[in-house]
Structure 1
Amino acid sequence: MQNKAHNPPKTKQKSIAELMGWLWRGYLRQHFGVLFIALFFMLIEGSTVGAISYMMKPMFDTVFVQGNSQALVWVSIIFLVVFTIRGLSGVVQKVLLSRISQLTAAHLRVDLLKRLIRQDASFHQTHPPGYLIQRIQSDVGSVNAVWRAIITGAGRDFISLIILLGVAINIDWRWTLVMLVGVPLAFLPIFSGQRYVRKKASQARDLGATLATRLDEIFHGIVPIKLNNLERYQTGRFEKHTGTFVRSEIRATFGTAAITGVIDVMAGLGFMGVLFLGGSEIIEGKKTVGEFMSFFTAIGLAFDPMRRLAAVSGTWQVAAAALERLKELMDAPILLASPAEPVAAPTGLPDVALTGVTLRYGEATVLDDLTLHAEAGKTTALVGASGAGKSSVFNVLTRLVDPQAGEVKISDVPVARMELESLRDLFSVVSQEALLFDETLRDNILLGRTDISDADLQPVLEAAHVSDFLSNLPDGLDTLVGPRGSALSGGQRQRVVIARALLRNTPILLLDEATSALDAQSEKIVQSALEKLAGGRTTLVIAHRLSTIQNADRIVVMDRGQVVDSGTHDELLARGGIYADLYRLQFQSGKEVIDRKGTAALAPHMPKVDGREPGILRRLAVRFLG
Structure 2
Amino acid sequence: MSDHASPQEHDSALPSGTRSRELITWIWRDFLRRHWAVIFLAFCFMALEGAMQGALALMMRPMFDDVFVAGDQGALIWVGFAVLGIFTVRAVAGVGQKTALSYIAQHTAADMRCNLLDGIMTQDGGFHQSHPPGFLIQRVQTDVTTVNNVWPKLMTGLGRDLISLVVLIGVALSVDWKWTLVAMIGAPLLIAPSQLVQRFVRARAREARDLGARLATRLDEVFHGIIPVKLNRLEAYQSNRYKSLSRDLIRTEVRTTAGSAAIPGLVDVMAGVGFFGVLYFGGREIIEGQKTVGEFMSFFTAIGLAFEPLRRIGAMAGLWQVAASGLERVKDLYDARPTLVSPANPVPPPSGVPGIALSDVHLSYGDTTVLGGLDLMAEPGKTTALVGASGAGKSTVFNILTRLVDPQKGKVRIGNVDASAMTLGDLRDLFSVVSQDAALFDESLRENILLGRTDVSDAQLDKVLKAAHVSDFLPKLAHGLDSPVGPRGSNLSGGQRQRVAIARALLRDTPILLLDEATSALDAESESVVQEALEKLAKGRTTIVIAHRLSTVRDADRIVVMDRGRVVDQGTHDELLARGGIYARLHALQFKTDGPTADSVAQAKLARSSAGKPALTSPQRGLIGRLARLFSH
If the length of structure 2 is used for normalisation, what is the TM-score?
Answer: 0.92
Contact 1:5–1:128, Cα closer than 8 Å, also in 2: no
Tell me, yes or no, if structure 1 residue 129 matches structure 2 residue 133: yes
| Equivalent residue letter for 1:106 | A
**CA distances 1:133-191 after superposition (whole Å, capped 9, x unpaired):** 11011111111222221111010000000000000010011110000000000111111
**May I ask how many residue pairs the two structures share in their alignment?**
594
Segments of 4+ moved more than 3 angstroms: 3-9
Report how far residue 92 of structure 1 moved: 1.1
- Classify the secondary structure of the residue corresponding to 1:471: helix
- Classify the secondary structure of the residue corresponding to 2:359: strand
Q: Which runs of 5+ in 2 are unaligned?
A: 598-625
Contact 1:382–1:541, Cα closer than 8 Å, also in 2: yes
Q: In the aligned structure 2, how far is the partner of 1:421 from the partner of 1:242?
A: 43
Q: In the aligned structure 2, how far is the partner of 1:306 from the partner of 1:247?
A: 29
Report how far residue 585 of structure 1 moved: 2.5
Which of the residues 171, 174, 177 maps onto 2:181? 177
- Classify the secondary structure of the residue corresponding to 1:356: strand
**CA distances 1:470-491 after superposition (whole Å, capped 9, x unpaired):** 0111110001111100111111
Q: In the aligned structure 2, how far is the partner of 1:17 from the partner of 1:310?
A: 18
Q: In the aligned structure 1, how far is the partner of 2:246 from the partner of 2:435?
A: 36
| Equivalent residue letter for 1:319 | A
**CA distances 1:351-388 after superposition (whole Å, capped 9, x unpaired):** 00110111111211111111100000000000011111
Q: In the aligned structure 2, how far is the partner of 1:152 from the partner of 1:367?
A: 59
Kindly tell me: are residues 6 and 490 of structure 1, through their superposed partners in 2, closer, same or farther at Cα, counting changes over 3 Å?
Answer: farther
Tell me, yes or no, if structure 1 residue 250 matches structure 2 residue 254: yes
Q: Could you tell me which residue of structure 2 aligns to residue 9 of structure 1?
A: 10
| Equivalent residue letter for 2:376 | L
**CA distances 1:299-358 after superposition (whole Å, capped 9, x unpaired):** 110000000001111110001000000111111121011111110011101000110111
Q: In the aligned structure 2, how far is the partner of 1:238 from the partner of 1:277?
A: 59
Q: Could you tell me which residue of structure 2 aligns to residue 282 of structure 1?
A: 286
Report how far residue 6 of structure 1 moved: 8.2
Q: Could you tell me which residue of structure 2 aligns to residue 226 of structure 1?
A: 230
Q: Could you tell me which residue of structure 1 aligns to residue 39 of structure 2?
A: 35
Contact 1:6–1:210, Cα closer than 8 Å, also in 2: no
Q: In the aligned structure 1, how far is the partner of 2:115 from the partner of 2:195?
A: 33
**CA distances 1:487-527 after superposition (whole Å, capped 9, x unpaired):** 11111111100111111010000000011111111111111
Q: In the aligned structure 1, how far is the partner of 2:376 from the partner of 2:421?
A: 19
Which of the residues 243, 261, 264 maps onto 1:260? 264
Q: In the aligned structure 2, how far is the partner of 1:5 from the partner of 1:453?
A: 46
Contact 1:425–1:506, Cα closer than 8 Å, also in 2: yes
Tell me, yes or no, if structure 1 residue 157 matches structure 2 residue 161: yes
Contact 1:355–1:407, Cα closer than 8 Å, also in 2: yes
If the length of structure 1 is used for normalisation, what is the TM-score?
Answer: 0.93
- Classify the secondary structure of the residue corresponding to 1:240: helix
Q: In the aligned structure 2, how far is the partner of 1:243 from the partner of 1:407?
A: 53
Kindly tell me: are residues 265 and 8 of structure 1, through their superposed partners in 2, closer, same or farther at Cα, counting changes over 3 Å?
Answer: same
Contact 1:9–1:126, Cα closer than 8 Å, also in 2: no
- Classify the secondary structure of the residue corresponding to 1:458: helix
Contact 1:360–1:404, Cα closer than 8 Å, also in 2: yes
Q: In the aligned structure 1, how far is the partner of 2:593 from the partner of 2:141?
A: 58
Match runs of 1:149-548 below 5 Å:
149-548=153-552
Report how far residue 588 of structure 1 moved: 3.4
**CA distances 1:559-616 after superposition (whole Å, capped 9, x unpaired):** 11111111111111111111112212222369xx9xxxxxxxxxxxxx9x989x9xxx
Contact 1:343–1:417, Cα closer than 8 Å, also in 2: yes
- Classify the secondary structure of the residue corresponding to 1:169: helix
Query: Bigger CA drift: 284-293 or 196-205?
Result: 284-293
**CA distances 1:519-548 after superposition (whole Å, capped 9, x unpaired):** 111111111111111111100000001000
Q: Could you tell me which residue of structure 1 aligns to residue 85 of structure 2?
A: 81
Q: Could you tell me which residue of structure 1 aligns to residue 619 of structure 2?
A: none
| Equivalent residue letter for 2:483 | T
Which of the residues 36, 44, 48 maps onto 2:48? 44
- Classify the secondary structure of the residue corresponding to 1:370: strand
Q: For the aligned residues, what is the CA RMSD?
A: 1.8
Tell me, yes or no, if structure 1 residue 93 matches structure 2 residue 97: yes
Report how far residue 4 of structure 1 moved: 8.6
| Equivalent residue letter for 1:410 | I
- Classify the secondary structure of the residue corresponding to 2:476: coil
**CA distances 1:206-242 after superposition (whole Å, capped 9, x unpaired):** 1111111111111111111111111111111011111
Contact 1:27–1:108, Cα closer than 8 Å, also in 2: yes
| Equivalent residue letter for 2:542 | T
Tell me, yes or no, if structure 1 residue 119 matches structure 2 residue 123: yes
Contact 1:374–1:538, Cα closer than 8 Å, also in 2: yes
- Classify the secondary structure of the residue corresponding to 2:71: coil
- Classify the secondary structure of the residue corresponding to 1:145: helix
Q: In the aligned structure 2, how far is the partner of 1:471 from the partner of 1:8?
A: 53
Q: In the aligned structure 2, how far is the partner of 1:548 from the partner of 1:396?
A: 24
Tell me, yes or no, if structure 1 residue 141 matches structure 2 residue 154: no
Identity of aligned residues (%): 62
Contact 1:7–1:126, Cα closer than 8 Å, also in 2: no
Contact 1:391–1:542, Cα closer than 8 Å, also in 2: yes
Q: In the aligned structure 2, how far is the partner of 1:435 from the partner of 1:223?
A: 18
Q: In the aligned structure 2, how far is the partner of 1:583 from the partner of 1:42?
A: 78
Q: Which runs of 5+ in 1 are unaligned?
A: 594-606, 614-626
